[in-house]
Structure formats: structure tokens, C-alpha cells
Amino acid sequence: MPQNLWNDAEAKALPDLDGLVYRSNLLGRDRAVCNIFGGNTSAKIDVVNHAGRQTRVLAVKASGSDLATITEPQFAILYLDDILPLINREAMTDEEMVAYLDRTAFEPGRPRQSIETLMHAFVPFKHVDHTHPDAIISLACTPNAEQTAKDVYGDRMVYVKYIRPGFTLSKWIGEKIAANPQAECVVMGKHGLIAWADDSKTCYDNSIRIIAEAEAYIAERKRGKRVYGQLTVPALPEAERREIMTEVLPVIRGAVSKRSHTILQYDDSEAVLDMVGSAKSGEVSQQGAACPDHLVHVKRQPLFIDWRADQGVDALKKLVQDGVADYEQRYGEYFETNKEPGDELRDSAPRVILIPGIGMVNTGKDVANADVSRQLYHRAVEVIGGAEALGEFVSLTAKESYDIEYWPLELYKLRLRPPDRDFAGKVVLITGGASGIGRATAYKLASDGAHVVVADINTENGEEVAADLQKRFGKKRAMFVHTDVTSEAAVQNSMQQAILAYGGLDVLVNNAGIAGGMPIEETTLADWQRQIDILATGYFLMAREAFILMKRQGIGGTMVFVGSKNSIAAGKGAAAYSAAKAAEIHLARCIAEEGGAHGIRVNSVLPDAVIRGSSIWSGDWKAERAANYGVEIDQLNDFYRQRNVLKVEILAEDQAEAIAFLAGPRSSKTTGAVLTVDGGVAAAYVR
Ligand code: NAD
């Protein structure tokens, strides 16, 4: 049941617009009341305009914001008296409506008003909530939805059949409410709910109470029923699911990323496992979308994979690949059947993939987008289940779906998005990402759109980097995985974590390292072995596992090895380190040779003397190097600056820039190369 979350003490002090923000956030807090990014709210407010005149404005949610997190600047504010006379018109196209409303802006610079603004204006009450509650949509997605809604509310409700939002729907709603003064809500066929009042608290109370009535009605009819049928495929044990998906997610990612790189979210929550394993889920899930607001992020149908564990993992991979190809073909047919002049086919890959015994996989252009799809399919499961409990689920038709998916006003929201950056939709794993060059690279690639896996033995610093990246770029845009690159099992675990979090991997930055130098006679076997283990073996293990994963995905990939000036210039007094660094770049070239056939590029960056921010310079290394060159420790920075021909200090950010270039699309025809980033040191000039 929806909880009434209103708190008088919190609400009282808030003036009109802030009060509207408060109410909106409360509604958005419960996703069974209001979908992520769905629904909208409004208030009609008396204000004094810039000329000192008393005037009425409509504050309404702007297009593309989410009620749960909406803030005051995300409301559009429009002159209400300019809008109200529109109800007397016979018709208005979407373009006319938007152009008209754009001219009623009370304050310049606010975002564009919701597509449903006219409906808010025409409801003759001060406060209006339009939500997409699961239970209401269940009522509204049954064969005789109007009668079903009447059974719950009697004449306290007026019903409007489904049409795409716009002028006509708004006019119908305004007129129906005017003609039915006893009504306290509108149920919108295959869409949602409108409730209202003259004060904000009553408006909220009404929304919650009306939704609770529908929930109680459905709960009664659900009692003792399994709405998706008997459980025919029980969930596999969690560890087994994860093992299987470690192999299968990269295959899915490859299949759905043909047009552009896609991030996956894997959901094996109880509700999903129960649904996908039930007898009727394969059939019911294919009916169509339950609500226009779901559709935009889950598409008309999920891809249902009819697989049983006894068929084996290879069969699942094949079913997924064939399933995606078939889905894309069917999507193309849907596009051809319904397209209007000027329409262009958009991504035809599924956004939701259901696998019995395993769970659900959602796709998106980034992790936030994939997560919206995940959240909305949870809502769809509830809505469809509710409708089935009431008799039968009736979805939007193919034509209705198409008209939403390719609606110019929906496409407008997509156009608001900034153009894709170099690493949009890509997953990057950086070893040694907790410090120095790796850390600077993590920030650089994240700011260029990457999802970043920070792999390091330093948990404290690694977690701090990941948390800060999340704060700056989004909740799931980065993660930390404790990884010792010398351990085969740890390296494999880091790949598995990347797969389970994002679906795969596109870029490996092989960077974790140490320093250390001494004359050859003093170099113990243990010293030698340590350098070889971390620098040579560590780079090998990471690269091998990344190679296997990239090949499985089948969409190419890049690796950047962070070598050193010492990879090609003999490092006096640092034989073990230099030999290991030389091994790294030769390893890179060998893998470049093998990777070409699979679109996997491997290049190296060779830094020299990055002192600021690097922890390898905080130990004995600095003293050793100073002694080696016969300078004081505090002169070392200047020594290195004077050593290069450009006389510049070399920064971790300079390395990150070069790594981003070699890892990204701007170097798409370069592989097996080395790029020095050292200010120019003749000994390291590449010959
Ligand atoms: P740094 O010490 O600041 O960062 C290295 C990171 O690697 C640390 O966070 C450390 O915890 C991690 N690490 C060490 N051993 C690990 C292991 N076994 N498994 C996982 N993580 C491990 O050093 P940096 O200067 O940023 O160096 C990064 C790379 O650049 C190294 O490969 C280094 O050899 C190379 N490099 C650095 C310089 C320089 O002057 N700083 C010059 C040439 C090459």
C-alpha cells in the first residue's frame, strides 16, 4: 500500500513553489506511485510580475525531470491566463501547442514545460498531480478498463480512453471534469491517474488515497493466485547464476552494441526471478507495453529467451545471439509498418532481456539509462501482474507504441542530450587506479564518458577515487575492485566484477606498478622477482583476461600499457625495473599482432619522471634516483625538468591525455605503437 509521507512540520514553512517541490518529491519517492522520470505535478500560483502587476502563473514540471529529485529550477512557469482560453479551440497540433506555450513563459531561461502542461492548466483546481501508479495502470490495461475503474470508484472517477498526450487529451480531461463536479480523479486508459485539490496537502492525500483504493481492489483479486502462472523454472542458485552470466553478459553486450556501445545491468531480484520462471511469462511479456512512460525505456516488448539450465551455457549464448538478431529484424518490420515520412530507424536492439532461472538484463547508453530501464520493467511486471489478476492484460497497440517512440516531442527530449563523448557507453578498467597516473587517467576517462573500474591493492585510496568519481559523474559510473595484479584469481575476479557491473570491458589500462633500483650486484633474486611479478606478469595476466573478454564480446577493444622511458632507454642502476618495463612494451606489441583480427588495439605510453601525485616517488626510490644522478633529493624535480629538451615538468595528467588518445576512437588506426610523454629525452627517442 502506498504510504502517506506528508509531514506537516516540513511542509508548512514552504511557500507555493517550494511546496510544489516538496509534494513532487514525496510522490516520486514511491516508484509504485510514480515512475522514474514519469508523471508531473503543477500549482496555479498568484504572483507579481516584473512590471509589478498581480498575475496567475502555472508552475508545471519541466520536460525530462524526475519527480523524486526535482528542484525548483526544474519547473516551467507560464502565464496561466494566456493558456486557459485554448480550451475553446477545436484542435491544435503538437507543434502549435509547443510554440504557443513557449511564448507564455513567465520567466525566461527555465526549461521547456511538460508535454502534459495543457492538461494541468485545464483541470480547474489549484493543485494537480498526474502519476503513473502501478495499480491504476493495471485497472487501465484491462479489456473493459472503464467498467473496472468504475467498480473501484463509482462516479467519483471519470475515465478517458487512451490517446497520445497533447491538446485533444487535455481538452477531453478539462471538459469531463467540468461536466462531472462530483469527480475526484481521472483514470486515463493505458496511462495513469490525475488527482487534484485546492490545497497541496489535500491534493497529495487524494492521490495516495485513490491509489490505495486501487491497490486494495487488486490485492483482493490477486489473493491466492499466481498471476504469471506456475513456477516452471526455479531460480538457479546465486553463485551459479553469476558464473553463467560472467560468460553470457559479454555475449549479450556484443550482440546489442552493434550500433553503439551499450552498458548492461543484470537484475536477479526475487520478483524478477519469480516472473521469468513462471509458465505464462514468455507469452504475457510479449503483449506490449503497459504505459507510454514505460515504453520509452523498455521498448514495446522484452526479448524472452526460452532456455533451461540443462541445455548448457553455450546453448544460452547461441539463443541470446539469435534472439537479438531476430528481435532486431522484428523491430525493423515494426518500424517499416508504422513509419511516417521523415522518420529514421533508431536503435533496434532490445532494452530488456528475460532469461528463466537467471533473471533480467537491461541495456542502456550508459549505466543510469540501463538502470532506468531496469526500474521501469519492475513497474511493468507489477502492472501486467495486476491486470492479469483482474482478468487479462491489454497493452498499447503496436501503432500506439510507435507513435510514442517516434513522437517528435519525445525525440526532442533525446535531442536535449549533449553529443556522445569519446568513451560514452564504454567500460574501462585501470590497474593502479588508486594513485598517480592511474588516478589521473580514471578522472580523465570518466569525464570523457567512461564507466571506470579502479583495480588496485590499495583499498583505502581506491575506494576514495571510486566514490569521488561517483559523486562527480553519477552513482554507478565507477567502482573499486581490490586486485593484486600478480594473482591470477584476483585478476579474473576483477574481470568478473566489471562484467557483472557493466556487462563487459572495452579498455584496459595496464598501469599498476612499483619502482625500485639498485646496482646489479646488489639486486637480489627477490628484488628481481618482485619487479617481474608486478610489472611483467601483472601486465600479462590482465591483458590475457581482457583479451579473452574482448574477444567474447566481439566488438573490439583497446589496451594501453603504461611503460616507462626505461622500456627503451637503459636505466642505469635499475636493471630489474627496466628489464620488466621493456618486457611490458614488447608484450603489448605481441598482443597487438594477435588482437588485430579482433579489432583489439594495444599501444604503450612511456612516461618519465612524474613526481607530483605519484606514490612511487614517496619511498626510497627518490633517494636512490637522487644518489644515482648525484643531486640532492629536493633538486630532483628540477634535475628531471632540465633533463628533457622542452624543460617542462611532466604531470600525471599529461600521461592521462596520451592514454585517452590511445584508448579512444581518435587513434582508431594505431596499434603496436609507443608514445613517449617525457618532455623529450633523447635516450628514449623511438628508432
Ligand atoms: P603510483 O605509486 O602513484 O601508483 C601505482 C599504483 O599501483 C598504486 O596505487 C599501487 O597501489 C598500485 N599497485 C602496486 N602494486 C600493485 C599490485 N600488485 N596490484 C595492483 N595494484 C598495485 O605510481 P605512478 O607513478 O602512478 O605509476 C604508474 C605506472 O607508471 C607504473 O607502472 C610506473 O612504473 C609507471 N611510470 C611512472 C613514472 C613516474 O615517474 N611516476 C615514470 C615511468 C613509468
Band (pLDDT 50/70/90 cuts) for residue 626 is confident
pLDDT in tens, 557-578: 999 999 999 999 998 899 999 9
**What's residue 623's pLDDT?**
84
Q: Tell me the sheet residues that pair with 76.
A: 60
Residue 420 reports pLDDT greater than 80: yes
Q: Please indicate whether residue 400, judged by its CB atom, sits closer than 6 Å to ligand 1.
A: no
Smallest CA separation from ligand 1 atom 10, residue? 432
Nearest of 251, 395, 273 to residue 323 by alpha carbon: 251
Cell readout for 640 is 628531471
Nearest of 604, 438, 602 to residue 514 by alpha carbon: 438
Band (pLDDT 50/70/90 cuts) for residue 622 is confident
**What's residue 586's pLDDT?**
98
Band (pLDDT 50/70/90 cuts) for residue 419 is confident
**What's residue 1's pLDDT?**
87
Residue 411 reports pLDDT greater than 80: no
Q: Please indicate whether residue 483, judged by its CB atom, sits closer than 6 Å to ligand 1.
A: yes
Hey, is 181 helix, strand or coil?
coil
Query: Given the DSSP bridges, would you call strands 185-188 and 192-197 parallel, antiparallel or unpaired?
Result: antiparallel
Determine the Cα–Cα distance for residues 10 and 15; give it in Å rounded to an integer: 11
Q: Does the predicted TM-score (pTM) go above 0.85?
A: yes
**What's residue 415's pLDDT?**
74
Asked if 388 and 137 touch (Cβ cutoff 8 Å), the reply is no
Residue 229 reports pLDDT greater than 80: yes
**What's residue 356's pLDDT?**
98
3-state SS track over 462-490: HHHHHHHHHHHHCCCCEEEEECCCCCHHH
Band (pLDDT 50/70/90 cuts) for residue 409 is confident
pLDDT in tens, 159-210: 999 999 999 999 999 999 999 999 999 999 999 999 999 999 999 999 999 9
pLDDT in tens, 47-58: 999 999 999 999
| Matching residue, cell 637522487 | 626
Smallest CA separation from ligand 1 atom 41, residue? 610
Q: How far is the CA of 461 from the centre of ligand 1 (A)?
A: 13
Q: How far is the CA of 99 from the centre of ligand 1 (A)?
A: 57
71: left (phi > 0), else alpha (psi -120 to 50), else beta? beta
Q: Tell me the sheet residues that pair with 159.
A: 187
Catalytically annotated residue among 331, 577, 629, 685: 577
Query: Given the DSSP bridges, would you call strands 185-188 and 157-160 parallel, antiparallel or unpaired?
Result: parallel
Which amino acid is located at 169 in the chain?
Answer: L
Q: Please indicate whether residue 616, judged by its CB atom, sits closer than 6 Å to ligand 1.
A: yes
| pLDDT top residue among 7 and 293 | 7
Band (pLDDT 50/70/90 cuts) for residue 96 is very high
Q: Please indicate whether residue 631, judged by its CB atom, sits closer than 6 Å to ligand 1.
A: no
Q: How far is the CA of 446 from the centre of ligand 1 (A)?
A: 19
* Other C-beta atoms lying within 10 Å of the C-beta of residue 686: 9
Domains annotated for the chain, with CATH where assigned, are 8-222 (3.40.225.10), 238-340+347-416 (3.40.225), 427-684 (3.40.50.720)
Q: Please indicate whether residue 609, judged by its CB atom, sits closer than 6 Å to ligand 1.
A: yes
Q: What is the mean pLDDT of residues 659-669?
A: 98
**What's residue 76's pLDDT?**
96
**What's residue 108's pLDDT?**
85
Residue 410 reports pLDDT greater than 80: no
Determine the Cα–Cα distance for residues 80 and 55; give it in Å rounded to an integer: 8
Q: Please indicate whether residue 663, judged by its CB atom, sits closer than 6 Å to ligand 1.
A: no
Query: Could you give the percent of the chain with pLDDT greater than 70?
Result: 100
Is 402 an active-site residue? no
The set of residues, in sequence order, having a beta carbon less than 8 Å from that of 88 and lying 6+ positions away, is: none
Average pLDDT over the chain, rounded to an integer: 95
**What's residue 63's pLDDT?**
87
Cell readout for 297 is 525505456
Query: Given the DSSP bridges, would you call strands 451-456 and 427-431 parallel, antiparallel or unpaired?
Result: parallel
Residue 634 burial class via C-beta count within 10 angstroms: exposed 0-12, middle 13-18, buried 19 and up: exposed
Asked if 394 and 143 touch (Cβ cutoff 8 Å), the reply is yes
pLDDT in tens, 20-49: 999 999 999 999 999 999 999 999 999 999
Distance from the first to the final alpha carbon of the chain: 72
Nearest of 58, 193, 199 to residue 136 by alpha carbon: 193
